[in-house]
Each structure stands twice: as structure tokens, then as C-alpha cells.
Amino acid sequence: MSRKDALALAKEAGLDLVEVSPNANPPVVKVIDWGKYQYQKMKEAKKNRQSNKQGELKQMRFGMKIGQGDLDIKLRKIREFLADGHKVRIQVFFRGRENAHRELGYDMINRIAGLLEDEAVLEHQPQMAGRNLSVVIRSK
């Protein structure tokens, strides 16, 4: 169909002629209501933005001298985050002379990962950044 015929057909229907694939030979076009099309695209983009917030990155910080009760509470909170579909960054921070024993931080990360192994997996190996050792986990 020629360009002139397509434009006449669109005008007759009271709609717009929209080029879908300009690189095709011949170019592909659609007869649609442009305002309605734009509205639907905006609604879809808004819905996608809302669903992406579900996968937020939460953070939980642990000190080297954490007690068992505090650890249990933080693990319960991490499990809630994972159940909601969030990723969680587990961060172990070092103070003063604790920096000299970084292997204890790695042991703590492995202990936490072991306690959460039924619900979560590590996204990468623990990384040291300044005085913090961190790893990101996500639900299985």
C-alpha cells in the first residue's frame, strides 16, 4: 500500500499512522490512536517502576562482638527482607584492633551464610571495603 493511501485510510478512520519498523523494506506502519497508545505506555512504565521497587537492596550491619540474641533478631529481620523479595547486603564492620583479625569477619560471614543457607544464596564472595566486609545475598 502506498504512503498516500495509508495516510488517507488513517485520516478516514480518525486515527494516526505510526511507523513501527522504519528499516524494513517496505517500512512497516500501524494505524492507531496515538494518545491512547502513549497513555498505555505510561501506565505500563509506571507499573514496571513499582514492581522494581520490590527488589530493593536492604542492609544489615554486624559488629564483631555481637551476642547470640542480637544475631538471632538480625537473622529474623533478614529472613523477612528475603521473603519480601529484597536483596540484603550483610556488612561486618571492624573497630580498632579488630582490623588485625579480618579472618574472624570472614568466619562470621560464613556462619551467617550457613544459618541462612535454606533461604538464601550469596551473589558474590565477601569483599573488603575500608573497615567493612560485605556480601550481598538473595533468596533462592
- For residue 86, pLDDT over 80 is answered with yes
Residue 34: CB atoms within 10 Å: 11
- For residue 57, pLDDT over 70 is answered with yes
Q: Is 40 helix (H, G, I), strand (E, B) or coil?
A: helix
pLDDT digits (tens, 9 = 90+) for 29-49: 889 888 898 999 999 998 887
Residue 56's pLDDT band (cuts 50, 70, 90):
confident
| Per-residue pLDDT, 84 | 87
pLDDT digits (tens, 9 = 90+) for 91-107: 999 999 988 988 999 99
Q: Return the domain boundaries, the chain.
A: 3-52, 56-139
Fold category of 3-52 in CATH: Ubiquitin-like (UB roll) (3.10.20)
Fold category of 56-139 in CATH: Translation Initiation Factor IF3 (3.30.110)
Whether 3-52 and 56-139 share one fold: the answer is no
Question: 104 burial class (0-12, 13-18, 19+ CB within 10 angstroms)?
Answer: middle
Residue 22's pLDDT band (cuts 50, 70, 90):
confident
Q: What residue ranges in 53-126 does DSSP mark as E strands? A: 57-63, 87-93, 120-122
